[in-house]
Amino acid sequence: MRMTKAFIPTLRSTPAEAEIISHQLLLRAGYIRKSAAGVYTYLPFAQRVLKKIEDIIRDEMDKAGGQEVLLPIIQPAELWLETGRWHVYGEEMFRLKDRHDRDFCLGPTHEEIITDLIRGEVNSYRQLPLRLYQIQNKYRDERRPRFGLMRGREFIMKDLYSFDKDEEGLETSYQKMYQAYTNIFTRCGLKFRPVEADSGAIGGNVTHEFMVLAENGEASIVYCDDCDYAANIEIAPCQPVEIGNEKEDIKPLEKVHTPNVRTIDEIVKFLNVNPQKCIKTLFYKADEQVIVVLIRGDRNINEIKLQKVHPCYSLELATEDEVRDITGCKTGFIGPVGLKEVPIYADLEIKNLVNAVSGANEDHYHLVNVNGNRDFEVTGFYDLRFVEVGEQCPKCKSSLKMARGIEVGQVFKLGTKYSEALNAKFLDENGKENLILMGCYGIGVTRTMAAAVEQNYDANGIIWPKSIAPYHVVVIPISIKDEDHIKNAQKLYEQLIDKGIEVVLDDRNERPGVKFKDADLIGFPIRLTVGKKTVIEGLVEYKLRTEQESIDVPIEQVVNKVLEYLNT
């Protein structure tokens, strides 16, 4: 490819709308352009990167027994009504009607469609196991599309679905996919970690997310250095931590005047108490029902855990009015004492609190010396909070660490969730009818591209891992007015092409400084500069994007040197 012909519209400055580095660099270096919030055009260099990621994925999926298919993007509502997910998916689903007023959606995922296919085609154990995958656009009307390719509304995903006759088969499929994912992200040159995760709207119970470790990751993960434990904090279990007042004598309940003291911070200052001794009371609207959560003042509520305890489609903090209807007071003064007819879910740590502080359900008053066993009743005690740095590893009791991660892939054991809903059965060896066991396995292809940039860049631009770089090499003639420069560069360019190396010849009539800047910004792994030294001494300047310094290599050795680097 000649730079004069390449469609790679680089920008001088960083577009203001781009908050994170991958978004900024992919725009600036001419890889992507936005057409609507969360909807992007992939320009030629991006398309090459995506194809390389997809090729690695295909190779590993095929090795793990996958067969590629292509499922429809437009999906009929009936299938989604059969599994009940037409409603579960809520506003995230792009819905449309055809001319006959029939409901459809743009596929956010494909469990329904593929299970429908399988129930029609598979009826015997002899046809199992089956592993089918596709690489295709997905559509999700995300609440907050942002960060460029990271959270799009139209994005590319690889999704594989496994179908097995028994648990053992499902376990084999799961392990094969887990290993394939490990191979894929390793081959893409990424630093990543598989973590235990939540199964969300997809369902099932065993699941791992593959997290690329990066500061800008939206996910928080906890991990242990002394064993292999790692989990998304959404699901990381918490043990109650004692605060050392458990032996205190129980004191009489007291109401205190606390004018305009509403937040935990304010109450801590006003009453001079430890936030650990405060009971934070939160009112939620779970679908149409109001529920109450109690958690220690210094902790954060984990809504995913809450939703497991109290299953519901939507979960939002209740409004000031809804709170007042039940308690007769403002949100700053609510507490568990005297609350009736609402489910109260308390975090495990609430059980141990002695002589705690809470709102009095009366404006400008709090209660001190609140004691659970004596002063209020709860529906139950559950693990409802986020784990924190330094808490005990649930596996080995060592101290937990925390990092940010970008979820690039997830593997799920679905079990019979979809085969049951859609009645996908087969006859086993004994002629008995059984439900098919399923798994599903997704990789965000476009998100993986963004994650690769998040992990590989410097002040000058992108540093593509060589396995997914759009081109391996850029050849830069110092002056295109000098015929000897051009001739040598052209020759080298052709020799590289002959060896199957992907190379760009920067034949633009620009100053070398401009070309070097662009080469760094675009992120070619290898830069070869041809100039006076080449003409006089037969030396080419060889520079790796990952290194600061260049070396001079005799022109006849350059191709081998490049091959050697690319093949290791």
Residues at the contact surface with ligand ATP, assessed by CB under 6 A = 109, 140, 142, 151-152, 155, 157, 200, 202, 407-410, 442, 444, 446-447
Please give the backbone phi and psi of residue 114, each rounded to the nearest 5 degrees, phi first.
Answer: -75, -35
Binding string, residues 355-394; x marks residues near Mg ion by CB under 5 A: ----------------------------------------
By beta-carbon proximity to ligand ATP, the closer residue of 30 and 442 is 442
Cβ closest to ligand ATP, residue 202 vs residue 290: 202
Q: Quote the least distance from Cβ 451 to ligand ATP, whole Å.
A: 8
Contact of 134 with 158, CB cutoff 8 Å = yes
The distance of closest approach from Cβ of residue 152 to ligand ATP in the complex, given in angstroms and rounded to an integer, is 4
Strands 461-462 and 356-359: unpaired
CB 28 to ligand ATP: min, Å: 20
Q: Which residue is nearest to ligand ATP (CB)?
A: 444
- Please give the DSSP secondary-structure letter assigned to residue 431: S
- Cα distance between residue 47 and residue 44, in whole Å: 5
- Report in angstroms how near the CB of residue 314 gets to Mg ion at its nearest: 19
CB of 447 to ligand ATP, least distance (A): 4
For ligand ATP, give the closer residue by CB, 142 or 303: 142
d(CA 57, CA 182): 11
Closest alpha carbon to 451 in 39, 53, 34, 17? 53
- Of residues 24, 276, 410, 534, which one binds Mg ion by CB under 5 A? 410
Q: Number of helices (H) and strands (E) in the chain: give both, helices first.
A: 16, 31
Choices 21-29, 294-302, 310-318, 408-416 (CB under 5 A): range interacting with Mg ion: 408-416
Backbone CA torsion sign across 206, 211, 216, 220: positive
Shortest gap between Cβ of 157 and ligand ATP (angstroms)? 5
Q: Is 115 or 281 the residue whose CB approaches ligand ATP more closely?
A: 115
- R_g of the chain computed on alpha carbons: 29
Query: Which of residues 410 and 419 has its CB atom nearest to Mg ion in the complex?
Result: 410
Among candidate residues 528, 518, 543, 478, the one with its CA nearest the CA of residue 8: 518
151 binds, among Mg ion, ligand ATP, none (CB under 5 to 8 A by kind): ligand ATP
Contact of residue 140 among Mg ion, ligand ATP, none (CB under 5-8 Å per partner type): ligand ATP
The kind and range of the H/E element at 55 are helix 44-63
CB of 109 to Mg ion, least distance (A): 10
SS3 percent helix, strand, coil of the chain, rounded to 5, is 30, 30, 40
Pairing of strands 380-382, 206-213: unpaired
- Give the C-alpha separation, 319 to 157, whole Å: 37
Q: Which is nearer to ligand ATP, 69 or 256 (CB)?
A: 69
Residues 452 and 505: beta-carbon distance below 8 Å: no
Q: Which is nearer to Mg ion, 75 or 410 (CB)?
A: 410
Please give the Cα distance from 397 to 380 (Å, whole number). 26
Give phi and psi for 552, each to the nearest 5.
Answer: -95, 130
* Nearest in space to 394 (alpha carbons), one of 228, 242, 246: 228
- Which residue lies nearer to ligand ATP by CB, 181 or 283? 181
* Residues contacting 325, CB < 8 A, separation 6+: none
| Residue 335 site contact among Mg ion, ligand ATP, none (CB < 5 to 8 Å, cut-off depends on kind) | none
Is residue 330 classed as helix, strand or coil in its secondary structure?
Answer: coil
**Min. distance of Cβ 409 from Mg ion in angstroms?**
8
Q: Which of 404, 464, 473, 505 is nearest to 192 (CA)?
A: 404
Choose the one of ligand ATP, Mg ion, none that binds residue 415, judging by a C-beta under 5 to 8 angstroms depending on kind: none
Out of Mg ion, ligand ATP, none, which partner does residue 531 contact, by CB within 5 to 8 A per kind?
none
Query: From the CB of 136, what's the least distance to ligand ATP, in Å?
Result: 12
Nearer to ligand ATP, 139 or 376 (CB): 139
Minimum CB separation of residue 47 from ligand ATP in Å reads 17
Query: Which range of residues in 47-55, 279-287, 313-321, 410-418 is near Mg ion by CB under 5 A?
Result: 410-418
Q: Which residues bind Mg ion (CB under 5 A)?
A: 410
